[in-house]
A = this chain, B = another copy of it.
Amino acid sequence: MSITSDLIRGHTETIIMANLYNRDSYGYEINKAIQEASEGQYELKEATLYGAFRRLEGNGYIISYWGNETTGARRRYYHITDEGKIFFESSCKEWEKAKNLIDTLIKTGGKGNE
């Protein structure tokens, strides 16, 4: 992956929630989806991923249950709650604000500013 995770830090939870918004999913699948969507530029480390799940569930934004796979490795599925949807939507708005703010603050340099 080519993107520094320092820059993504703080958005991990939002990215995960985006992947749970329309359907239940599980860790491994979500991470694969992120890798594909980013065309290999980014992936979550497992410790980061599962740590985020723990926080999100602790906050009531997702709930988890074991899938009933009859074959292969077991999967822990996550389901977004109503509170989780609200959280996701407000996170998106925060991101829009932060994005514009950073753009503003960075463009102070390079051109004008004298």
| Residues on the B chain within 8 Å of A33, using CB | 108
Q: In the complex where A22-B109, A106-B14, A110-B21 touch, is A99 in contact with B101 (Cβ < 8 A)?
A: no
Stretch at the interface among A59-67, A70-78, A90-98: A90-98
Q: What's the number of copies of this chain in the assembled complex?
A: 2
Does A105 have its Cβ within 8 Å of any Cβ on chain B? yes
Contact in complex: B19, A10 (CB < 8 Å): no
Nearest Cβ distance between residue A52 and chain B, in whole angstroms?
A: 13
Contact in complex: A94, B7 (CB < 8 Å): yes
Q: In the complex where A3-B97, A38-B101 touch, is A108 in contact with B18 (Cβ < 8 A)?
A: yes
Contact in complex: B18, A98 (CB < 8 Å): no
